[in-house]
Structure 1
């Protein structure tokens, strides 16, 4: 996008009454963003959603002053922009009707990796949630997913830190402009995150982290990823809003179950009980449900000589050695394992380079 087009899109975003939905309608209608401001009132009035108040607001010269100021901030601070029709815009987010027209990014974000998952939850994370989050990301690391979260206290920052520990790209979606960071105590993580990942926001440099902006932020977290994972949550909270948005966008949702007496397991248990989330017990659940192919990361999945097998792994391996390739359901029946347990066993065996998946939920030994 040229600087001139960017300037006009910024100006459009500052028109009082023009949101993402109406703004996209205008941008689709006119060939260039500048044409919106050159159009006659009669032409604009013919577009559904444009009334007399909006016609007046579109002619307000102050929007251009605000656009010029923001464009200067973008230039002076090396901010990258992604327009909703650009290739650099997150692909899944493009398909959300209320996705931002423009997002601002900082760091080294590469959306070519299709495995994007968001991890959200309470700001009062417990040791149970912390341990689960770290283990989950460790087990997913060989598949090189991008970990997305909101850079807040609790589950968010634990997920970002774990991703960095395992050299995974991680993205913080912010509820304010890129001229600041919230919470301030997390500033110490910014440089490392920007080395491999970074930050995304739809908010301008004059935006503060007000309460309502966190809800708007959550739709980006839910919309840009393949699945949303809720680690811990009370019976109300922002992570449940994110989960509901993910469901509305037809994304997969996972929730970590907990004891019914634990305050920060109530939200997750309710998501599972109302069938708004899949039960998440380990990384294998995600890999199985999302149909991720471990073979895409061969450098970390090499067959090991004289590898030590757990008893369950040995039983499955012996079965496949004897019978050749076999269906998941048949392996479960013959080895007398429930599917959820067998899925974890098979994933571990793939990571050890002992078996490989085939189309149609078939597996064979290597």
Structure 2
């Protein structure tokens, strides 16, 4: 795999422990000014505390970069950094963007009209009916769906898009070699081969709880808008919707029965300014402005 020195340094940093997205961007900014900074210099630039500094320095020294490059190449996992022209423009401008994204599949999908579709992990038949109503026209109008490959609405949005002959992007909160939930392994492999699979986490990263809100910011950040199909009052889907609002993106919500707990979140979004969606045209007329 051919890389520039700065890209290779960023790849190296992404494999390190003790730093997150914000620290990585700080380090990258410093490296742009001076590519010869040492690991100790970078730890200082990122203002790491003593615990994270030790984790970072130990892991930085332990990584055998050529072996790691070969491993990713052998597993056909590529990456795009925030320095690359092919890095998604919308994502570049969010708060706390990922410095590097690992991917498998067709990276050019990122240049299309992307719509995030999220919802409850325990959806009702109403959620599935709403997807079945809205997706065909969206796909016909070349909308590319983006979701998180979770149980429920996420999984069904990916599957339905593929069934309709559309294109889909899955953003996951683990390494690309992990399958979570395990039941989505076949779907994940299909997306990695024929669509686009993305993660900011290196190989071997397990599905830790804190990874999923971070994943949600990428889902919202990639997309022109976010459609919430079903959501309880407190849910990850509402986190994604609120992140989209913070970035000035469109937020759409499917209204539901006021006695159904799976519609509490979507109805509340509408109450606070999200666009109520009854047909696909309600989404398309906003995205095509």
- Normalising by structure 1, we get a TM-score of 0.71
Aligned-pair distance for 1:197? 1.2
Query: Larger relative contact order (C-alpha < 8 A, sep ≥ 6)?
Result: 2
Structure 1 Cα separation of the partners of residues 239 and 222 of structure 2: 15
User: In the alignment, which residue of structure 2 is the partner of 1:304?
Assistant: none
Specify the alignment match of 1:331 in structure 2.
none
Match runs of 1:38-187 below 5 Å: 50=47, 53=50, 57=54, 60-66=57-63, 68=65, 70-111=68-109, 113-187=111-185
Relative to structure 1, is the Cα distance of residues 7 and 61 closer, same or farther in structure 2, using a 3 angstrom cutoff? farther
DSSP 3-state at the match of 1:206 = coil
Bigger shift: residues 93-102 or 29-38: 29-38
Report what 2:10 is aligned to: 9
Cα distance, 1:135 vs structure 2: 1.9
Q: Distance in 2 between matches of 1:260 and 1:152?
A: 25
Question: What is the rounded CA distance, in whole Å, between the counterparts of 2:216 and 2:162 in structure 1?
Answer: 22
Q: State whether residues 228 and 237 of structure 2, in contact with CA within 8 Å, keep that contact through their aligned partners in structure 1.
A: yes
Residue equivalent to 2:280? 283
Q: Structure 1 residues 100 and 269 mapped into 2: Cα distance closer, same or farther (>3 Å)?
A: same
Q: Name the CA shift for 1:52/1:146 in 2 (closer, same or farther; >3 Å).
A: closer
Deviation at 1:166, TM superposition (A): 1.8
Tell me, in whole angstroms, the C-alpha distance in 1 between the residues paired with 2:138 and 2:48: 51
Q: Which runs of 5 or more structure 2 residues have no equivalent in the other structure?
A: none
Distance of 2:53 and 2:172 partners within structure 1: 32
Shift of 1:54: 9.0
- What RMSD over aligned residues (CA atoms) do the two structures have, in Å? 2.6
Equivalent residues of 2:117, 2:147 under 8 A apart? yes
Contact 1:109 1:171 in 2 (8 A): no
Number of aligned residue pairs: 287
1:264 maps to 2:262: yes
Per-residue CA shift, 1:14-41, capped at 9, x if unaligned? 55554323332332233378423278x5
* Greater Rg by CA: 1
Give distance in 2, aligned partners of 1:173 and 1:59: 26
TM-score by length of 2: 0.89
CA shift, 1:216, in A, is 1.0
